[in-house]
Structure 1
Amino acid sequence: MIACSSGCVLTQDLPDPALDIPRGYKSAGPLVPDAPPPLDWWRGFRSGELTDLMEEAQKVNLDIAAAVARFVQADAQARIAGAALLPTLSASGPGNLAQESYSRVSGSSLNGLSTGGREVVNYNTALSASYILDFWGQNRDALQAADETAVANRFDRDVVALTTLTSVANAYFQVLASQDRIRTAERNIASATRILDAIRQRFKAGTGTDLDVAQQESVLANQRAAVPPLRQTLDQNINALALLVSRPPESLHVTGGSMDQIVTPRVAPGLPSELLTQRPDIRRQEAQLASATANVGSARAQFFPSIQLTGGGGYQSSALTSLIQPHAAFFNLVASVNQPIFDGGAILGNFELSKAKQDELLQDYRKAVVSAFSDVDNALVSVKQTTEKLRLQGVVVAASLRAFQLSEQQLRAGTADIVTVLNTQLTLFQAEDALWQAKLARLLAFVSLYQALGGGWEPRTEKPVNAL
């Protein structure tokens, strides 16, 4: 296969996908040509635990192992298809190449006297060969189709591996987010309890009402009720990580930590034309399209006659001692031509079926390319907007915290309106939780960008500069 200028990978008879490759991504910022995504892209988040989980998943994940088994099967199918291009040889005789055959000649009657029968022993050894001339390329196309299918299965393994790694990263960041949100919820519970104690003191002093107490108790109960779903999410994502590294949940311990400890890497998306060689799903579609094209050639060759050559030779003798002698030698050569005349339309139907499959895969290939560009643009938009959302949410939290602190001070001084206290603490609690969700969304956006770019890229090689 060769790579055409537009980025598509074609064989000699492969239809041109005729795609318009954009010069750049709509949502990309200034290009950084020397910073492509590294092969071990997850190290950019600077989490040792995440790196360990990623490396373990690559080794033991069951989906990846199944994908490897599929491309081993495809390799075996390619060897089977390639066998038709070679002659078949067979030798007669068990073990020692000399085979004995027995025959009995019945007796006859002469002048009323009977003559007994006799046994005749023939010894023979022979070698036979058969070869089908691949004049029309049927077997060569079948081999090429099998080879391209094997290539497609290798890229399928890469697709599974990339999906597995992004699933590990997403689940791990969900674990961190759950831990952060649980800590914030527990801190908010402590704050709500402190405010409740202050309101109760006002109620005992006669400056508050029972309604004020009930309202704050409702706030506190809501904060406590928010914790169990967060713990459920935490446990479920730890269990998801255990599945991804092929372990029972009981044997996996995840320390976690905080999203504040995660570094957001700098990712350069490169050019759209480079994406066609980096995304394993696009490469898989290319290989499947090439395989379908080869199958069309093989189906077309069935319209033409097949030519088969067979030959055999060896020795045959009734005496083992004279078996390997010139007079005991024999040979035969046969050439046969088989031309289909009427088959009820089976060959034509098979050809049309192959053409239709080729056209289907061509459209799938086009869709995969267009979807890849869309995936990258969507991921770039997500990174940009989640970054802005995180910045703005930080402003919200800072203002909400200041308002809550002021209302609490006024509450203790006996000058605050209870409604104001309730509003400020609810606003703060919601803002802090939304801040963690914004941080999670930003991390997941970076993971989506890596996935849209096809994972890590091979390092670029610098072109040598000719000395003057």
Structure 2
Amino acid sequence: MKNIALILISGLFLVACKVGPNYKREDKERPISYVQVEVSSDSITNMSWWEVYQDTTLQSLIKNALEVNLDLLFAASRVEEAKAVLGYNKANLYPFLDYNAKARATDFRETSQEAGVAFSPNMIGLMGNVSWEIDFWGKLRRANRAAYAELMSAEETRKSIYISLVAQVAELYFNLRGLDERLGITQRTYETRMEYLDIITKRFEKGNVSELDKLQAEQLAASAEAQIYALEREIIYVENALNILLARTYQPISRGLENKQQLMPLDMPTGLPSELLERRPDIVAAEQSLIAQTERIGVAVAMRFPSVNLAAFFGVASPSISNIFTPDAFLGSVTGQLTGPIFNFGQNKRRVEMERERAMQTAYNYEQTVLNAFADVENSLAEIRTYTNEFTARMKQVKATEKSLMLSKALYDNGYTSFLQVLDSEREFYNAEFEKSIALERQLIGTVRLYKALGGGW
């Protein structure tokens, strides 16, 4: 027993060694502030998504999506898989214990291959085997750390999908409400044009206007009617996209507030760019993947060195059950084994090179993820600023074109201008209302994208 304890203590002492590189985040220059806004240490991500999106109907859609969305459920399953992989790898750090029980009735003596023990006829035995690979070079520990990093990466990926799902539902919802608004504008425009067509037709029948005026009025009405069908089609597409996020087949989507009624935060603090590296789940996931791959280099390096294994056999064997637990029935042995490569045509060396190149690729992916993140924030800030200004300009345009249309109709009715002037004014008014609706929708979507780009919503 003293020898067994000595071997085990020696094995534990040897565990202190470890080969291969350790991950260290590369110190790269990052922007100290965002170009589109002033430096601020506060961030909109300090608000929960239900504080940002205050439309109760939208909140309900988001909650339902978070419960049933298939991509999110898939990501959650990947997290559970990663937990199982971590547990599987962690088990390799500890000794394995196997057992077997035998009862023999033979006409000749036989030697047990497991223990090298001669069994006589009518032998009863209870045996156990302990095997333990001493992690001398850190191979098992690095594999365990790689599995843990992959678990962290899977968890951060799940968070990233969570954030993206919240953003997708909100973006599609604002798109849907924008289409509803533009459908209403087009339907009202169609009704107005049909009324005007009726008036022009009656005037044409009386010979008061030319056929050209009547044809131009018909053209305007038909154009508005065609636009109605196009918008109805777009609404179905968006509703279907939302239904897919809700893991169901098509059904109409509930509506809440109109886009012009939405109460979104007016102040959009972004926080410091340096915080983005820790706050965005996709960046953290990419870095954890890099950590895992760095650990796999160490595993590959360790495989070039000898492995140390301890094996122990212990048990009892006796011709009768009554004597099976007597001191004479006890059997046991401990063996140590050293195995390692000698010549394998450079296979182990190439394995290390493979893992190093994979780590390099993962590092490139991490850096690309960081660059994309900063670009997402800047783009979203630009969208909010420019669409806010555009919406203000579009409101002025709507007022001006509406007044111009009223004046054009009055002049035409009194014979001071041609119907072509009315057509131009009417088209300008319709287009201005249409573009104003789009600008407001994109302003709201810009807020959604900024919230997502900053890693908010989790």
Q: Give the structure-1-normalised TM-score.
A: 0.88
User: What CA distance in whole angstroms lies between the structure 2 residues aligned with 1:60 and 1:164?
Assistant: 11
Is the CA contact 1:195–1:408 (under 8 Å) kept in the aligned structure 2?
no
Map of 1:159-308 to 2, 5 A cutoff?
Answer: 159-250=160-251, 252-265=252-265, 266-308=267-309
Is the CA contact 2:404–2:425 (under 8 Å) kept in the aligned structure 1?
yes
Q: 1:203 to 1:76 in 2, by over 3 A?
A: same
Secondary structure of the 1:219 match is: helix
Equivalent residue in structure 2 for 1:18, among 13, 27, 43: 27
Is the CA contact 2:408–2:421 (under 8 Å) kept in the aligned structure 1?
yes
1:253 to partner: Cα distance: 3.9
Q: What amino acid is the match of 1:294?
A: E
In the alignment, which residue of structure 1 is the partner of 2:80? 72
Higher deviation after alignment, 193-202 or 131-140: 193-202
Offset from partner CA, 1:42-82 (integer Å, 9 cap, x none): 54232111011111111111110011001111110111111
Is the CA contact 2:21–2:298 (under 8 Å) kept in the aligned structure 1?
no
**RMSD of aligned alpha carbons:** 1.9
User: What CA distance in whole angstroms lies between the structure 2 residues aligned with 1:203 and 1:332?
Assistant: 114
Secondary structure of the 2:315 match is: strand
Q: 1:434 to 1:36 in 2, by over 3 A?
A: closer
Higher deviation after alignment, 161-170 or 256-265: 256-265
1:328 to partner: Cα distance: 1.6
Map of 1:26-425 to 2, 5 A cutoff?
Answer: 26-29=35-38, 31=40, 33-93=41-101, 99-105=102-108, 120-250=121-251, 252-265=252-265, 266-425=267-426
Secondary structure of the 2:179 match is: helix
Is the CA contact 1:124–1:317 (under 8 Å) kept in the aligned structure 2?
yes
User: What CA distance in whole angstroms lies between the structure 1 residues aligned with 2:434 and 2:228?
Assistant: 12
Q: What amino acid is the match of 1:150?
A: L
Is the CA contact 1:17–1:366 (under 8 Å) kept in the aligned structure 2?
no
1:197 to partner: Cα distance: 3.1
1:358 to partner: Cα distance: 0.8
User: What CA distance in whole angstroms lies between the structure 1 residues aligned with 2:376 and 2:38?
Assistant: 16
Is the CA contact 1:19–1:366 (under 8 Å) kept in the aligned structure 2?
no
Is the CA contact 2:33–2:39 (under 8 Å) kept in the aligned structure 1?
no
User: What CA distance in whole angstroms lies between the structure 2 residues aligned with 1:39 and 1:102?
Assistant: 76
Higher deviation after alignment, 188-197 or 420-429: 188-197
In the alignment, which residue of structure 1 is the partner of 2:114? none
Offset from partner CA, 1:276-312 (integer Å, 9 cap, x none): 1111110001100000011111111111111111111
Q: 1:176 to 1:306 in 2, by over 3 A?
A: same
Is the CA contact 1:175–1:256 (under 8 Å) kept in the aligned structure 2?
no
Secondary structure of the 1:120 match is: coil
1:158 to partner: Cα distance: 1.2
User: What CA distance in whole angstroms lies between the structure 2 residues aligned with 1:446 and 1:340?
Assistant: 59
Q: Give the structure-2-normalised TM-score.
A: 0.89
User: What CA distance in whole angstroms lies between the structure 1 residues aligned with 2:431 and 2:338?
Assistant: 82
Secondary structure of the 2:62 match is: helix
1:205 to partner: Cα distance: 4.6
Offset from partner CA, 1:324-376 (integer Å, 9 cap, x none): 11112121110111121012222111111111111111111111112111111
1:206 to partner: Cα distance: 3.5
User: What CA distance in whole angstroms lies between the structure 2 residues aligned with 1:358 and 1:381?
Assistant: 35
User: What CA distance in whole angstroms lies between the structure 1 residues aligned with 2:257 and 2:193?
Assistant: 25
Q: 1:197 to 1:416 in 2, by over 3 A?
A: farther
Offset from partner CA, 1:94-127 (integer Å, 9 cap, x none): xxxxx31122149xxxxxxxxxxxx920111122
Structure 2 residue runs without a partner (length 5+) = 1-19, 110-119
| Consecutive aligned runs of 4 or more in structure 1 exceeding 6 Å deviation | none
User: What CA distance in whole angstroms lies between the structure 1 residues aligned with 2:213 and 2:257?
Assistant: 37
Secondary structure of the 1:249 match is: coil
1:15 to partner: Cα distance: 4.3
User: What CA distance in whole angstroms lies between the structure 1 residues aligned with 2:369 and 2:395?
Assistant: 38
Q: 1:384 to 1:12 in 2, by over 3 A?
A: farther
Q: What amino acid is the match of 1:274?
A: E
Is the CA contact 2:55–2:257 (under 8 Å) kept in the aligned structure 1?
no
1:35 to partner: Cα distance: 4.8
Is the CA contact 2:98–2:129 (under 8 Å) kept in the aligned structure 1?
yes
Structure 1 residue runs without a partner (length 5+) = 1-10, 94-98, 107-118, 458-468
Is the CA contact 1:315–1:328 (under 8 Å) kept in the aligned structure 2?
yes
Offset from partner CA, 1:139-187 (integer Å, 9 cap, x none): 0000000110111011111121122221111111111011101110011
Offset from partner CA, 1:250-282 (integer Å, 9 cap, x none): 3x5423452111123232111001111111110
Map of 1:436-451 to 2, 5 A cutoff?
Answer: 436-451=437-452
Secondary structure of the 1:276 match is: helix
In the alignment, does 2:440 pair up with 1:431?
no
Q: What amino acid is the match of 2:190?
A: I
User: What CA distance in whole angstroms lies between the structure 2 residues aligned with 1:278 and 1:291?
Assistant: 20
1:384 to partner: Cα distance: 0.6
User: What CA distance in whole angstroms lies between the structure 1 residues aligned with 2:370 and 2:241?
Assistant: 30
Is the CA contact 1:17–1:362 (under 8 Å) kept in the aligned structure 2?
no
User: What CA distance in whole angstroms lies between the structure 2 residues aligned with 1:169 and 1:194?
Assistant: 38
Higher deviation after alignment, 201-210 or 154-163: 201-210
Secondary structure of the 1:456 match is: coil
User: What CA distance in whole angstroms lies between the structure 2 residues aligned with 1:17 and 1:362?
Assistant: 10
User: What CA distance in whole angstroms lies between the structure 2 residues aligned with 1:23 and 1:391?
Assistant: 31
Higher deviation after alignment, 187-196 or 139-148: 187-196
Secondary structure of the 1:102 match is: coil
In the alignment, which residue of structure 1 is the partner of 2:10? none
Q: 1:74 to 1:39 in 2, by over 3 A?
A: farther
User: What CA distance in whole angstroms lies between the structure 2 residues aligned with 1:185 and 1:100?
Assistant: 89
